[in-house]
Structure 1
Amino acid sequence: MKISKEKSEANRAALVETASRLFQQKGIDGVGVAEISKSAGLTHGALYAHFPSKEALAAEALAWSLEQSNAKLYSGTVDGEPDLERFLCDYLSVDKRDDYADHCAMAASASEIGRQDVAISSKFTEGYLVLVRAFERRVAANNPGADALAIAMGIVAAMVGGLSVARATAKARPEVSAQALRGVRHIIDAALRKPD
């Protein structure tokens, strides 16, 4: 029985969104296609009708998740630029630290992306560079003459790494986790500040 184009598109979207959530919660290597298919309410066959491999699904799921994150970045603007203050408060919060399924696919997957194929690495890199460009503009505006690109790359790396460290320490030492988040925010604020 042939399904409609609309149903096929809905199935594909369900697979991508479900895979994104599960990959963030359990890691790309920590979840199989059977679990993804079942969680999306579909069969293995439906998954493979849309994606030739788990890696292809992972690349699209990562891209989708990063698009969602970047949409949040650009959802609020100040003078036509992303509201980085709001974004940082949200990104480096304890609530978001504990939200693996719906917050920062980069922090959830950074340690394992290097072991994945080039398609997945490319999607990660694209998402990283979107964030870098947003911070680069702010650094350049606040501090003309600074190496805005290098500083912005460091800011985003600190955000992703800091969130990863905060997650890794939260169960054993919640106070260390919270201090890591505050420390990263302090470093970022200093990097974004206009010189006196």
Structure 2
Amino acid sequence: MKVSKAQAAENRQGILDAAARLYRERGLAGVGVADITRDAGLTHGGLYRHFESKDALVREACARAFDWSIAPLDGHTPNATVADRIKSYLSPAHRDAPGRGCPAAALAVDAARAGPELSEVFASGIERNIQRFTQLLADHAPAPAEPFGADAAQVSAAHRARAMEVLATMVGGLVLARATAAAQPALSQELLTTLQEQLIQLLDTPQD
């Protein structure tokens, strides 16, 4: 039976959504085409009507995963502060649900090993996250201390540097919390709590 254009588009989106979630849950090497199509409710052969290769699917699914944004996971805080986002990111809920969370924390090591095309997908996604978080800090966090005569570009660069520092700490902390959760849950929780506190304190302190 011929599939309508609307149904074909819906099927394609279902494949991308399933792949983006499963890759984050299991890693790129831990997911086969059959796993993705089964999760999407489609047949194995149907996937290649939408994607020219598995590598093409991986790239698009990872790009799709970067639609995820740092926001409270409960969905009930429309005017969330920077501190709210840090607490949500470095939380047991995010730690325990990689398939619904940050692709950088879930797949960065896989991307580093996968070659330049996937690296470009991650570079673009990470750059967007840096830009978003830089703007968030500019809007809501204490302004960096400005040297006499500093221009707008210098102030913007200071916000960007701090955004990189905070994001890298959050991603690294989440990776370590996930790696230790099964064997030493207390250590995992300590990592989350300590980094929450340290980052919020950092953002409450103007840069020198």
Same topology, TM > 0.5: yes
- TM-align CA RMSD: 2.3
Match of 1:142 in 2: 143
Match of 2:164 in 1: 153
Instruction: Measure the CA separation in 1 of the matches of 2:43 and 2:115.
Output: 25
| Matches for 1:54-73 after TM superposition, within 5 Å | 54-67=54-67, 69-70=68-69, 72=71
SS of structure 1 residue aligned to 2:100:
coil
Q: Which has the larger radius of gyration?
A: 2
Change (3 A) 1:72 1:135: closer
Q: Contact 2:142 / 2:206 at 8 angstroms: preserved in 1?
A: no
Change (3 A) 1:5 1:71: farther
Match of 2:150 in 1: none
| Matches for 1:14-29 after TM superposition, within 5 Å | 14-29=14-29
> Aligned residues: percent identity?
36
Match of 1:95 in 2: 93
Change (3 A) 1:162 1:150: same
Instruction: Measure the CA separation in 2 of the matches of 1:187 and 1:194.
Output: 11
Instruction: Measure the CA separation in 2 of the matches of 1:14 and 1:135.
Output: 29
The ranges of structure 1 where at least 4 consecutive aligned residues each deviate by more than 3 angstroms after the TM superposition are: 75-78
Instruction: Measure the CA separation in 2 of the matches of 1:33 and 1:5.
Output: 23
Instruction: Measure the CA separation in 2 of the matches of 1:192 and 1:77.
Output: 20
Pairing 1:114–2:115 present: no
TM-score (normalised: structure 2)? 0.82
Change (3 A) 1:2 1:117: farther
AA aligned opposite 1:48: Y
Instruction: Measure the CA separation in 2 of the matches of 1:112 and 1:71.
Output: 21
- Where structure 1 has 5 or more consecutive residues not aligned to the other structure, the ranges are none
Change (3 A) 1:43 1:125: same
- Where structure 2 has 5 or more consecutive residues not aligned to the other structure, the ranges are 147-154
Match of 1:11 in 2: 11
Instruction: Measure the CA separation in 2 of the matches of 1:41 and 1:176.
Output: 39
- 1:77 shift after superposition: 5.9
- 1:57 shift after superposition: 1.0
TM-score (normalised: structure 1)? 0.86
Range with bigger deviation, 105-114 or 180-189: 180-189
